Amino acid sequence: MVSTSKKCKHCTREFRTNNKNLNKSEFEYCSVCRKNHKKCEVCGEEIFVQARTCSKKCAYELRKKSWKETCGTEHNFSKHSSSRKKWEARLKIEEGIENVFQREEVKKKSQKAHLEKLGVDNPSKSPLIQKKKENTCLKNHKVKHGWSLTEKVNKTMLKKYGQLRITNGDKISKWRREVLRPKMEKLGIWIPLSELSEYQLYSYNVWAITNEQLRNFGHLINKDLLNENKSIDIWKEKWSIDHKFSISSGFKKKISPEIIGSIINLEIIKFANNSSKQSNCSISLGQLIKDYKNFINENKIN
């Protein structure tokens, strides 16, 4: 059988092949190149290596495809992947924790490293880190603190969790009721609830709800204005919280503290205006009830 010398199309080395194979496309390459000749499984580019892809980028894309099939996500350890959930379940059963950062040895090791590097047990306590955070926020967003970006924060919360940032009101109320109140009553700073008049108890409940509503929905009425009080010297120019339908009117009309303390009945106004308003109402009872019902329906609150 007659053979002919030929130059490899890929590596340019000369090799010999039978004349009957001269016109076959696969014999454009030497035996070494021909052995590994294939197309990248991601982009389709010709490759001459044992790998299934042509580059690290394509290799990562192939891994993501594989993880999507086996774990349901594009990474085998992302938040919603099946492998991550199995790992978290195992941690919960074996150690009673949700992530490794809750391990006592990890906490101690982290604190030790922070003390050595920053002189504090938590990076957020370091003036250097605090200044760095402020500079980054000023550079990127023109504000000192990320929480000032109310619209951006809300958009992110809705995208990630399907709701706005909601504090654990039950936990805070429990702490105030079981820890703070007994302590303040013992010191004589707060009057015991049992000694409050009916109106005082009503007002107390309204303000408890008001504070919780401000924590959860304060962005709706620009609660950040209250932070400006630190830099305002004239008392009458300071900002204050106003109940549009006043607490005293709510008590007289026997309106639930839940409604009077709701965010839809709150506004931030100057202290002087709030003082002159006294117990007058800037909203009718009918409008208050209507706004409250709309707010409950829009936010799907039970």
- Both structure tokens of 125: 């306590």
Assess if residue 93 is contained within a domain. Answer: no
Give one word for 93, left, alpha or beta, with left for phi > 0 and alpha for psi -120 to 50: alpha
Is 238 in a helix, a strand, or coil? coil
Look up residue 184 and give its amino acid: M
Domain final position from 58, 73, 92: 58
**CA 295 to chain CA mean position, Å:** 23
- Both structure tokens of 284: 């009718």
Q: Over the range 244-258, which residues count as b (16 or more CB within 10 Å of their CB) and which as e?
A: bbbbbbbbeeebebe
Residuewise pLDDT in 10s, the chain (302 residues): 677 788 888 888 888 887 777 778 778 888 888 888 889 999 999 888 888 999 999 999 999 999 999 988 989 888 889 999 999 999 989 988 888 888 999 989 999 999 999 898 888 788 888 889 889 888 888 877 776 666 677 677 677 666 655 555 566 667 777 888 888 888 888 888 888 888 988 898 899 889 888 888 888 888 878 878 878 888 888 899 999 999 999 999 999 999 999 999 999 998 888 888 888 999 999 999 999 999 888 775 54
Return the pLDDT at 302.
46
Q: List Cβ neighbours of 276 (8 Å cut-off, separation of 6 or more).
A: none
- Whole-angstrom CA distances from 149 to 37, 92, 137, 146, 154 are 54, 35, 10, 6, 9
d(CA 31, CA 51): 17
d(CA 97, CA 104): 10
Return the pLDDT at 106.
92
Assess if residue 64 is contained within a domain. Answer: no
| Helix orientation angle between 82-95 and 56-71, rounded to the nearest 10 degrees | 60
d(CA 156, CA 158): 5
- Specify the pTM: 0.47
Q: List Cβ neighbours of 83 (8 Å cut-off, separation of 6 or more).
A: 70, 71, 76, 77
Assess if residue 75 is contained within a domain. Answer: no
Assess if residue 185 is contained within a domain. Answer: no
Assess if residue 114 is contained within a domain. Answer: no
d(CA 224, CA 1): 90
- Whole-angstrom CA distances from 40 to 55, 62, 285 are 9, 10, 70
Assess if residue 262 is contained within a domain. Answer: yes
Assess if residue 70 is contained within a domain. Answer: no
d(CA 14, CA 34): 13
Indicate the number of domains in the chain: 2
Assess if residue 215 is contained within a domain. Answer: yes
Domain that holds residue 254: 196-299
